[in-house]
Each structure stands twice: as structure tokens, then as C-alpha cells.
Chains A and B, each alone.
Chain A
């Protein structure tokens, strides 16, 4: 059998590792259950949406967020693994920011959760740096020619969160109503936030 038997069902390969590590007392399957539950149900783009909504309604928070993203995001309780060093990129009429990790899959876990498959896929990683406007169009985002598009390549150490533009006509909405409008894709930069 090859060292990494690709023909074997990956579920069996994972089970082999998990069962051996459990028998050796190195891991507790219940801890794995809790980790899976956390990332399936507790950590995800709703966290990032709360950061964005707060920045929209609180100018002082917005300033803190743009000058020290890590600290400002931590104020809302989001920090830790794969979010240790955060930079927030503000979308404006002048600049539209898009995030990728060309080398792998780096993504801000505490604010966005685990990345979707397309973000980790070869086609997105290859094309968004070469033809960002074309990729944005595929995602349904049309950026005016007068707006500069900046593509940010994430590293293992530093993660980006896009602060999307607040949609017109939302002056009367509360912070939590605004948060409900914010999509995951808008915080990666491949979406815009639509008015309700």
C-alpha cells in the first residue's frame, strides 16, 4: 500500500488516524466533536457581519477597525486561530478590494469561519489576480472603470476582511438589521451589500 493511499476512502484514512490517536490517549473524540460543532454552528460570517455593521453605525469604531483591525475585532469577542493579525480593507467609490490566498487557503477564521470550496480552488486562486474584473463579473459584481480594483494576497500570518460599502437607503436600520444584510462574499470582496 502506498504511504498515502489515495485510492482508499478518505473517511477510512481519517478514521485510522483518529482511532490510533485516541487509543494512545493523545486526543479525545469528544473534543473533536466540539471543534466540529463550533465551526459548523458558532464561528462563521455572521461574526464578520457584526463587525461591519458596527463600523457602519459607529464612526469611532470604524476608525479603530481601519487602524488596528485585530484589536477592534477583538473588542467584539472575535480572535484566535487564523485571525491573529487582521487588516480591514475599506471599499469606497474609489477603491474596491478583493481577497485571495493564491498559495493555499488562508482566510480569517474568527470573522468568516472556514472558507468555501471555491475560495480554496485552483481556478479562483489563479484567475482573480490576473483578471479580477472578469472574476468579479462572474460573481455578479460590476465595478465601474473609475474605481480601482485592488487584489490582496493573504499570507499565513496576516488575514484580510473587506469592509463593504453601506448600501443607500439604510439610514433607518438598526445595527442588527444592517448586520443581516452583510454577506460573506461582500467581506471577501466578491460581493456587494444590497439594500433590503
Chain B
């Protein structure tokens, strides 16, 4: 499918920002998100293509405004819900609990 992810040749996206001595993960949660991919990909029976498809379905503005690992998060949340491993309902309930400091 075409869409905002098909960025080759697009103008107006600004300068290329590079970081000296860039860490592999900028925040611990990025590392956890990466680990979740490697730990779930086999048992959950999805493919990298399916993850990417979920990312490519994001809204265009949303896609550009969010970071790489935030894209992954959207994809995990969708794929794990579809497969029934973690439903949207239980996940959103858990987020609400975590925000209140329950866990």
C-alpha cells in the first residue's frame, strides 16, 4: 500500500539530525519494546510484515509525529489484540491502573 511511510524523494521534512555516540536505546522502555518484539514474534505467530502493515495504517500526521519505537508499540498493541493474547480492554485497564500507581 502507498502512504506516508513511502517517504523516498519527499520534500520539506527538515534536516537530518545526527547524534554523536548515540545509545542503542534512548530510554529503558525502548529496550523493553524491542525485547517484546523478539520475545513475542514466535509464539504470537505474527511476522515483521504484519507489524509493518500496522505501522503503515497509522494516520499520516501521527506517523510523522511519533518515534520509531512508538510506531512499534501501536503495532504490538494491534497484533496482540488481534491474536487475543492481550485485548485492548485489559491493556487499557492495566494502563489506567499503572497511571494510578496500582502496580
> Which residues does A use to contact B, with CB under 8 Å?
1, 3-6, 8, 10-21, 24, 26-28, 31-33, 35-36, 39-40, 44, 81, 100, 102-105, 113-114, 116-118, 120-127, 129-130, 135, 138-139, 153, 156
Chain B residues, Cβ within 8 Å of A135: 16
Q: Is B52 in contact with A104, judged by CB distance below 8 angstroms?
A: yes
CA distance A5 to B62 in the complex (A): 12
Residue from B8, B55, B77, B99 whose CB has the most chain A CB atoms within 10 Å: B8
Q: Is A123 in contact with B73, judged by CB distance below 8 angstroms?
A: no
Task: Please give the number of chain B residues whose Cβ is less than 8 angstroms from any Cβ of chain A in the complex.
Answer: 60
Contacting A at CB under 8 A, from B25-45, are 25-29, 31-36, 38-40, 43-44
In the assembled complex, 15 residue pairs joining A and B whose CB atoms fall closer than 8 Å, in A order, are: A17-B91, A21-B80, A24-B85, A32-B32, A40-B23, A102-B6, A116-B18, A118-B19, A121-B17, A122-B7, A123-B13, A126-B7, A127-B16, A138-B15, A153-B8
Q: Is A126 in contact with B34, judged by CB distance below 8 angstroms?
A: no
Report if A36-B77 is in contact (Cβ < 8 Å); known contacts: A8-B99, A17-B91, A24-B85. no
> Which residues does B use to contact A, with CB under 8 Å?
5-11, 13-19, 22-29, 31-36, 38-40, 43-44, 48-49, 52, 55, 62, 64, 66, 68-70, 73-74, 76-77, 80, 85-86, 88, 90-92, 94-96, 98-99, 103
Q: Is B36 in contact with A126, judged by CB distance below 8 angstroms?
A: no
Chain B residues, Cβ within 8 Å of A104: 5, 52, 55
Secondary structure call for the A interface: helix
Q: Which residue of chain A has its CB nearest to the CB of B99?
A: A12
A37 to chain B, nearest CB (A): 9
Which of A116, A123, A153 contacts B14 (CB under 8 A)?
A123
Secondary structure call for the B interface: helix
Chain A residues, Cβ within 8 Å of B22: 116-117
Q: Is B92 in contact with A113, judged by CB distance below 8 angstroms?
A: no
Chain B residues, Cβ within 8 Å of A31: 35, 39
Q: Which residue of chain A has its CB nearest to the CB of B65?
A: A6
Report if A27-B7 is in contact (Cβ < 8 Å); known contacts: A116-B22, A126-B13. no
CA distance A100 to B22 in the complex (A): 19
Q: Which residue of chain A has its CB nearest to the CB of B80?
A: A17
B58 to chain A, nearest CB (A): 9
Which of B19, B31, B73 contacts A13 (CB under 8 A)?
B73
Residue from A8, A16, A28 whose CB has the most chain B CB atoms within 10 Å: A16
Chain B residues, Cβ within 8 Å of A35: 34-35, 38-39
